[in-house]
Structure formats: structure tokens, C-alpha cells
Amino acid sequence: MRDNKQPGTDAKPPMPKWAIWAIVAAVMVIAFGSQFISQPTGEKISYTEFLELVRDGDVREITINNSNNVISGELKNGGKFTTTGAMLMSEADEQLLKQQGVNYDFKTPQPNWFTSLLPIFLPFLLIIGFFVWMQRRAMGQAGNIMSVGRSKAKAYQADKPSTTFSDVAGYDGVKMEIKEVVDFLRMPERFKEIGARVPKGILLVGPPGTGKTLFARAVAGEAGVGFLSVTGSDFMEMFVGVGASRVRDLFQQARKMGKAIIFIDEIDSIGRKRGAGLGGGHDEREQTLNQLLAEMDGFEATEGIVILAATNRPDILDAALLRPGRFDRQIIVPLPEFEERLAILKVHSRDKRMGSDVDMDTMAKATPGMSGADLANLVNEAALFAVRRGSTFIERIDFENARDRVVLGASRESLVLSPEEKRATAIHEGGHAVLATVLTHSDPLHKVTILPRGMALGVTWSLPQERHTYSREYFEDLICKAMGGRVAEKIVYGHLNSGAANDLEQATGIARRMVREWGMSDKVGPMAWNSQQQVFLGEDLMTSGREYSDSTARMLDEEISRILNEQEQRAHNLLTQHRAGLEAVAEKLLEEETIDGATVGRLIQESLDTPTSTTV
């Protein structure tokens, strides 16, 4: 069996704490035990009783301790006694002892050698102990200075894979792309016979929480080879050259394993574009990247070493890192679609007690845009809600509450609104809900509530349909719906308040991207200007400037303003037309606080003689 231990694991384990206390106890026994052992035994009597026994002739012999004046003696009947005398025995008492024929002797006990030397060496022992304690404390904080250049990669055993492809739900396309790596590590002869070369490096790209790290572990588990896992930040240290040294040590460990997978998570922390901004070409991060590039060129693909890396920012990686021969394949790990979300929910629910009313198909359809980590958190939140209810099963209401908490935020039950604020919130959310119902290209309305959640006093929630491209009409309806709360308050109350700040921010952001990036303005035409990149994201300080003139900037501002004003007027016309429906929705919200999209549609239908599909 191949030895997968890290370098330095053969070192002797540190001395346990109980052994240190045992040594201290032994020293105390040696120092002071002799004094307790030499203590005289016998009945304790007074000095007067001692003299009476001497006069009666009952005392055979005594011993006087010159250090503490303790007199220990033996009676003629075999009994023993102790007493305490004066500093100097009087002549009368001494004469009495001689007359009664008592044998007496003076004794001065000698201290042991350890007790004599302890006062001399104790200060030195304390000083040495202090320096040892300081050294161990420094080693605990900064690590052993001799091993600071070693890699911090975690090695997993090859014969006990903890993760396989069966643990990764969905993503069949990603599995097919990455399966070549598994086949190469299992059967490299097949590739050698035909002359094929497996990519040295594979870059997993996708949003956070989509399971990139899980895929890397599954590859190692399926292939049954060594797996070295390290994050990009593990290479960075306050000492110069440590990052490059750890990169060298990481590849040395992989070569000792024979066949191995090196997984670098969050590689963008060390793989950003070189020469960006004010950093120059001599900072620690760039030297670490240079060493990584050199190591990737230093081994052949036939060695059985494959590098996997994960990032959610491929746009800021250095071009030399992505060229063929290094990371020559990128695998996109996108947000899961409906079928994949359903499989992920089933995986995370298989060890939990589900109620009979839980429909995973409905939950998968109601969670578009959620990553695998979000879905795992959703199932766990549902379990927590079931425990709070005192139920032994997770039911549909628990999933509904968990989804509201994850998407809309936690309910703020401690926040109490005045009747005026509550009605204004109902009018505001009613405006959003009415427009979400009557607009043709809008996402279907799911729920509207005036219960405070997160940072909002009320929330209108639409379920976005799964799509990959969006039309100009869709974004126009989105802006119009965002203007609904502000316009509804203006129609009903005749004035505005600060409750529409987030709506205006969302609408302005969409309008800006329509004009600047998506070419959805007839006046601007088919031109696109991305947002200005920051220096730390890899753009050079001298070249990151505005790409258009002042006149173009004025035209862009005018177009953004035109779109916002047109959609605000459109929202005003629609809500004026559906004023009765707006009032009905607001009253229903004040009565029940939370209503669903079907109820909103029914209220609008009842308030009109025409169908709810009336649009402007």
C-alpha cells in the first residue's frame, strides 16, 4: 500500500500534559517527602505530663530535636510519646533525667541534597521555563520556522474515497467532460496506444455554491488515486518566497504519490493578471504564480498528475495560466436547471423524515436561480422550522417558510408599524402586485406580503421563468413593475416617501445596462460599454478610463432617463386604469397580510368588466 503521509509526520508526538504534572509531583516528593517521613510518631502530651512521667520513673529514653525542640521518647512499658520543650533545657530538668536514669540524646536532622540546592537553582529553572513557554507560544502562532515553506495541502487516502459521482446530483454534461480524467488515471495505456494526451490542467468555472469542489473530490474518489487539496490563499504568507516554496513542495508531494490529483480551490487569489495596477512584478503573489506556471511546465502528462482548479472569476486570471499546455480545458459548472435542482433536493432529503404533503417537483420549480449550496441550506432550514413547530416530520409548510426566509429574509416580528405606515405599505406592494399581474411579459406573481422581512417592510415575489435570453419588452416590464410601488403611493396619497429607494436603484441599474451593454436603445444603436474595471481586478491603472466622449455620456444619460420616465408613465396609466383593483388588493393585504398571486388575479378580475390581460 502506498504511503500517503505528509512530510514530517514521523516526528515524535509531544509530551502529554499528565506526564509534566507527574514530573512536578515527583520533584515535590523528593524535596519535601523526607521531612514527612522523619516526623516522630507517638501520643502527644504536654511538657508537664512529660516531667511527671520522668519523676515516676516510667520513661526509658528520649531524643531531643535541636531544630524544632520536639522531644520524642519511649516508655518502659513500650509506649511512645512526643512533646515540645523549651529552647534550652533547664539544669533542674536535666538533673531530673540523670537521677531517674533516663537515656537522653540530642539530634540535629540534616536536610537532603535536593532541598539544599533548590533555592540556588530555582531562579534559573523559572527563567528557562519562561523562555520555553515563549518559544512554544511563538511556534503555535507562526508555525515552525523550519517548515514554513512546506505546502499546506490536505492529503486524502486513495484507497478510501469518500465522494464519488453518485454523490453529485445532476450535471450529466459536466460528468461526461470530466470522466476523461478518471479514465486516464485508471487506464493510461488506452491513451498512450493511440497517442492521445489528456489535458494537464482542468479549470472548473461557475458561480459560488455550484459544487466545483465536490466535483474535484468525486474525480479523486472515482479514479482511486491520491488527492491533494489546497486553497489559493494557503500559498500566501508574510515571508518573501514562501508561496513559491509551497508550490514546489506541493508538486513534490504529488510526484511521490505516483498518480495524483492536485486541486487548487479559489485559484484566482494567486492567478490574477500580472503587472496590474501599482503592484509591479516583484510582489509575493506574482512570484507564486510564476512558480506555479513553471511547475506545470515541468511535468509530463504521462506522469499521472492532473491539476484541477476552481474559480468563479475566470475573467481576471492571467492569460499564461489558461494557455494550452497548462489549464487547457475549462468546464462550466452552471446554476442547476429544474431536473438538476430536483435531483439535488432528493439527495439532501434522503436522510430526513419527509411528510406526505411534500412535493419535490413543486419545490424544484419554485427555486430557480438557486445553487446546490442554496438548496442544501433550504432543506436544512425546512428541518429547523419543523423542529420549532414540534413536528417529527418535515411538511410542505416548513419548505414554504424556509423558502421565504432564504429568498425574502427573516421575518421581523418585533417591528410594529403604525396604521398609516401599514396602509402605505399595502398600497405600495399592491402597486407592484397589480402590475406583475397585468403586464404581459412579466414573471408570474407568486406571493405578496406586508409583513416586514429582512430590510423591507413588504415584499412582492414573482417566480422567474427559466430562460437564457431576455427581450427588451421583458426588461421594460421589469422596470415598469419596479415603479409600481412609487406610482401607487403617488396616485392614492398624492405625495412620495422614501420607501421606493431600492425599487429606483433596481430600475436604474436595468435601464443603464439596457443602454450601455445590451444595445436596447435605438438612439445609441449597436454599441456596448462595460462598467469600468477596478485596478485590483486585473486592469492596468493607466488604461482603465472612460471609453466614450462627453457628448456620448450625455446621450447615454438622456436615454437612461427616457426609459425610466416612459416606464413610470406607463405604470401610472396602468394603475389609474386598475385603481379599483389596486384598492381591493390593498384592503385584502390589510386583512390577511399575505396573499398569493391567484388571489391578486381574482381581485383584479372582479374589479373590471374586461379580462385581466388588459395592457398598455
Which residues, in sequence order, are CB contacts of 355 under 8 Å at separation 6+?
391, 393, 394, 395, 396
**CA–CA separation, 564 vs 574, rounded Å?**
15
CA-closest candidate to residue 169, choices 349, 313, 311: 349
CA-closest candidate to residue 285, choices 299, 306, 307, 267: 267
Residues facing residue 394 across a β-bridge: 354
The C-alpha torsion from 42 through 44 and 50 to 52, rounded to 10°, is -110
Reading the block at residue 348, the C-alpha cell is 439532501
**CA–CA separation, 159 vs 128, rounded Å?**
47
Annotation marks residue 429 as catalytic? yes
Decide: 364 and 343 in contact? Cβ < 8 Å. Answer: no
CA-closest candidate to residue 308, choices 239, 449, 211, 391: 211
**CA–CA separation, 85 vs 72, rounded Å?**
10
What are the distances in angstroms from CA 194 to CA 177, 188, 197, 198, 537? Answer: 19, 11, 9, 12, 42
Long-range contacts of 511-516 (CB under 8 A, 24+ apart): 511/479, 511/560, 511/563, 511/564, 512/560, 514/472, 514/475, 514/563, 515/556, 515/559, 515/560, 515/563, 516/556
Question: In a 10 Å sphere around its CB, with 0-12 CB exposed, 13-18 middle and 19+ buried, how is residue 503 labelled?
Answer: buried
Reading the block at residue 9, the C-alpha cell is 509526520
**CA–CA separation, 488 vs 145, rounded Å?**
67
Decide: 225 and 3 in contact? Cβ < 8 Å. Answer: no
Say which of 222, 266, 381, 429 is annotated catalytic. Answer: 429
Beta strand 327-332 with 445-449 is unpaired
Decide: 444 and 451 in contact? Cβ < 8 Å. Answer: no
The C-alpha torsion from 500 through 503 and 505 to 506, rounded to 10°, is 180
What are the distances in angstroms from CA 23 to CA 16, 27, 441? Answer: 11, 6, 81
**CA–CA separation, 151 vs 254, rounded Å?**
11
CA-closest candidate to residue 378, choices 393, 390, 364: 364
**CA–CA separation, 353 vs 359, rounded Å?**
13
Decide: 467 and 461 in contact? Cβ < 8 Å. Answer: no
Separation of CA 398 from chain center: 25
| Sheet bearing 103-107, strands edge to edge | 43-44, 80-84, 70-75, 59-65, 103-107
**CA–CA separation, 255 vs 226, rounded Å?**
10
C-alpha radius of gyration, the chain, whole number: 42
Active site residues: 429
